[in-house]
């Protein structure tokens, strides 16, 4: 079994992100996916304990500095759309501010799991064979949340930070 963490919408808020990191340290996750609106390069090194995959969101206008911070941290920048295969499961992740692209990714039914941010609302549901997951947000949300997914089972746990 592989356990991954899904986070989103940190918006450069270091204290909330540190609280999430502290929780992740107790959850035995092997990787992290950040679904965009990173907000500041200062957020990137906070995830140094895990291989972390980042995509950009609509508030990430500082893409050059974020790319550099992600590269310097030895992490992976997927620009606006990322995909992985873990434990035989195909995973896509994006911010979802481009509603047409977001819908297209889900409708393709190519992925077992589609992770997204932008709405600041934690939720998950099935759309056909695809599990669609928003972990919530670590800033501008009450409560602040992240999600943990167990693979290959695709079980989801929402974590309040």
- Which CATH number fits the domain that encloses residue 112? 3.60.21.10
The secondary structure of residue 153, as a DSSP letter, is T
| pTM for the whole structure | 0.97
71-103 pLDDT per residue, tens? 999 999 999 999 999 999 999 999 999 999 999
| Separation between Cα atoms, residue 53 and residue 65, nearest integer Å | 16
Total domains present in the chain: 1
**Host domain of residue 32:** 2-160
34-47 pLDDT per residue, tens? 999 999 999 999 99
Burial of 98 (0-12, 13-18, 19+ CB in 10 A): middle
Q: How confident is the model at residue 25 (pLDDT cuts 50, 70, 90)?
A: very high
């Amino acid at each position: 079994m592989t356990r991954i963490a899904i986070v989103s919408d940190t918006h450069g808020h270091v204290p909330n992100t540190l609280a999430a990191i502290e929780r992740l340290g107790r959850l035995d996750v092997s990787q992290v996916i950040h679904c965009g609106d990173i907000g500041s390069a200062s957020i990137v090194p906070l995830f140094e304990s895990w291989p972390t995959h980042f995509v950009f969101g609509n508030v990430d206008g500082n893409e050059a500095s974020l790319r550099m911070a992600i590269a310097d941290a030895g992490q992976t920048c997927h620009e606006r759309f990322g995909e992985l295969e873990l434990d035989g499961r195909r995973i896509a992740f994006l911010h979802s501010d481009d509603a047409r692209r977001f819908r297209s990714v889900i409708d393709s039914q190519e992925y077992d799991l589609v992770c997204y941010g932008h709405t600041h609302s934690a939720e998950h549901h099935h759309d056909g064979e695809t599990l669609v997951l928003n972990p919530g947000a670590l800033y501008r949300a009450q409560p602040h949340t992240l999600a943990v997914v167990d693979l290959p089972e695709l079980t989801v746990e929402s974590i309040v930070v």
